Structures are given as C-alpha cells and as structure tokens.
C-alpha cells in the first residue's frame, strides 16, 4: 500500500511540476489523535509525524516550494505533560541528527525559528550543527518552528523599537526576521492538518495575505499528493491583496 501510494505520488508530482515558487507553512496537527485512534501512545504519533515531515521535505522542491515552514512545537505546548514535551524534544533531536546529511545531499538549508533558551542543551547543539552545515543549501529553505510563538516574536521585535516613531513596515519586517533568526518571508500558502481551523499563534505577521487550506486528515497521514493538491488549489485562487479581481471592471 505504501509503495502504491509512493508511485501514484511520484506520477502526480511530475504532472504537477509548475513554475510557481511559493512559501508553504504547515501547522502539523493531529499526531496525538492519529496515535490514540490506533491504541498507541501519543509519542508514537509524534514519531509518525516526523516521518511525514521527511516525506514532505523530499517532495517540496519538486512542487515549486522554495520555503517550507513546519510548526513542530508551539510555545503553548509547554502546557502539556512534561513526558509528552520531552518525547517531542527527543524526537526533534534524533530527527536533526539523522536528517542533516539528507539535507546536505538534497540542497536543503535548515533553520530553526523560535526560542532556544528553554531547549535542552543537546537539542540546541544539534540545531547549531544542522544550521551551519546546511547553510549553503539552495533547493529548499526548511524552517522548523520549535518553541515558537508569533506574538512573542512580534512583541520582542516591537519592544526593540518602541520609542522610534518613523519605523517603516519593511524595516519592522526585517527586524522580525532578525529576531527569529531563520528569517521572515511572506507565507503564500498555509496548510493545517487535523481538522481545526485556526492559526494558533503561528506566523501572524507573515500570513497577512496567505491562502489557507484546512484538511481533516491528521499530519502522520499527510502525503506528497496532499501537498501537490494544496499547491494546485493555491494556484487556482486569485490573490487580490485587497485590490479587485482581474476580470472586474468598474
Ligand atoms: C501536533 O499534534 C504536534 C504537536 C503539537 C507537537 P498534536 O499533538 O496536537 O495532536 P492532537 O491534536 O492532540 O491530535
Ligand atoms: Mg493538536
């Protein structure tokens, strides 16, 4: 079944290869429910979620994605039981240690956005190594949001400038990119899996004009074909940014 899926996906990928270059951000939700519906501990859902991330990262450059931001751990997730948070942090560390060489091979530049000071030292070290080793990757900019809160990031950037009265929006955007280290680029397409339809403090500034696609499917079940379909859906939408649609005459 898995092989079948992969073959179908590959055929679709070729068909869907387009000239668009987009920043896709994904709220990877539903890991816990995926696991509990199978009688597994929630941590197994997070492990399966890491596998889904691997698949999607590999196919993203072939679907016209230049930047992929994945919401791996929200600052709000510290409210969960410590055992679950520890499991997620452990999986992230394993993931970075195992994936850095694949990123290098695939030309993937990996950055982490979010706070680092509350992360375990071993994870911080893995982040530092992964970022410096992959810094020259040109095929895809992969940004993992870990201990990330958009409000906190915006607040931090704003508090650096709170006495300046002539700050341009562009200068503020640049400052935001600096504060969150992994840069800040406008999101074109925001996907949320797992059935909820909310932004949950993810990329509030960058999603100002993003197109949203919400999917009931849980993140571990997310396949390359789902990304392809979302990108095709994005291409069908007309983005007016407050202007008028093309065919509209006054
Ligand atoms: C998303 O899956 C992953 C993280 C928040 C780390 P959840 O853990 O939120 O899964 P559900 O929503 O409980 O199914
Ligand atoms: Mg959830």
* Residues with a beta carbon under 5 angstroms from ion ligand 2: 29
Which parts of the chain register pLDDT below 50? 1, 3-4, 7-8, 11, 14-15
Cβ atoms of 110 and 137 closer than 8 Å: yes
Ligand 1 atom showing the smallest separation from residue 74 Cα: 5
- CA of 68 relative to ligand 2 center, distance in Å: 20
- CA of 76 relative to ligand 1 center, distance in Å: 11
Cβ atoms of 107 and 88 closer than 8 Å: no
Name every residue whose Cβ is closer than 8 Å to that of residue 64 and which is 6 or more positions away in sequence.
17, 18, 19, 20, 21, 22, 231
Active site residues: 29, 77
Ligand found nearest the CA of 219 = 1
> Is the distance from the beta carbon of residue 147 to the nearest atom of ligand 1 less than 6 Å?
no
> Is the distance from the beta carbon of residue 33 to the nearest atom of ligand 1 less than 6 Å?
yes
Domain ranges of the chain: 22-234
CB atoms within 10 A of CB 54: 12
CB atoms within 10 A of CB 93: 18
Domain 22-234 adopts which CATH fold?
Undecaprenyl pyrophosphate synthetase (3.40.1180)
> Is the distance from the beta carbon of residue 89 to the nearest atom of ligand 1 less than 6 Å?
no
* Residue 127, helix vs strand vs coil: helix
- Tens digit of pLDDT for each residue in 6-37? 544 554 554 455 567 999 999 999 999 999 99
To test ligand 1's pocket by mutation, which of 31, 41, 74 has the most ligand atoms within 8 angstroms of CB? 31
Listed residue (224, 233, 235) closest to 59, CA to CA: 224
Q: What is the pTM of this model?
A: 0.89
Burial (CB count <10 Å: 0-12, 13-18, 19+), residue 134: buried
Ligand found nearest the CA of 218 = 1
Ligand found nearest the CA of 34 = 1
> Is the distance from the beta carbon of residue 50 to the nearest atom of ligand 1 less than 6 Å?
no
- Tens digit of pLDDT for each residue in 147-180? 999 999 998 888 877 777 777 888 888 888 887 7
> Is the distance from the beta carbon of residue 27 to the nearest atom of ligand 1 less than 6 Å?
no
- Enter the DSSP assignment of 182: S
Query: What's the CA gap between 29 and 47, in Å, rounded?
Result: 13
Strands of the sheet containing 22-27, edge to edge, are 108-113, 140-148, 65-74, 22-27, 189-192, 211-214
């Amino acid at each position: 079944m898995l092989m079948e899926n992969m073959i179908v996906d590959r055929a679709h990928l070729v068909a869907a290869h387009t000239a668009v270059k987009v920043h896709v951000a994904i709220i990877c939700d539903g890991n816990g429910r995926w696991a509990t519906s199978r009688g597994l501990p929630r941590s197994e859902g997070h492990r399966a979620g890491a596998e889904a991330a691997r698949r999607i990262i590999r196919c993203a450059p072939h679907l016209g994605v230049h930047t992929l931001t994945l919401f791996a751990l929200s600052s709000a997730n510290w409210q969960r039981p410590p055992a679950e948070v520890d499991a997620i942090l452990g999986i992230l560390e394993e993931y970075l240690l195992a994936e850095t060489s694949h990123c290098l091979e695939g030309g993937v530049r990996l950055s982490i956005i979010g706070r680092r000071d509350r992360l375990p030292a071993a994870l911080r070290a893995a982040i530092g190594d992964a970022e410096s080793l992959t810094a020259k990757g040109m095929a895809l900019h992969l940004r993992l949001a870990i201990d990330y809160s958009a409000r906190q990031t915006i607040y931090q950037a704003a508090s650096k400038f709170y006495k300046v009265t002539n700050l341009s929006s562009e200068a503020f955007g640049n400052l935001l990119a600096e504060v969150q280290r992994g840069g800040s680029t406008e999101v074109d397409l925001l996907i949320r899996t797992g059935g909820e339809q909310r932004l949950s403090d993810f990329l509030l500034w960058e999603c100002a004009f993003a197109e949203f696609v919400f999917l009931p499917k849980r993140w571990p079940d997310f396949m390359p074909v789902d990304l392809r379909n979302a990108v095709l859906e994005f291409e069908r939408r007309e983005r007016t940014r407050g202007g008028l649609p093309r065919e509209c005459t006054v």
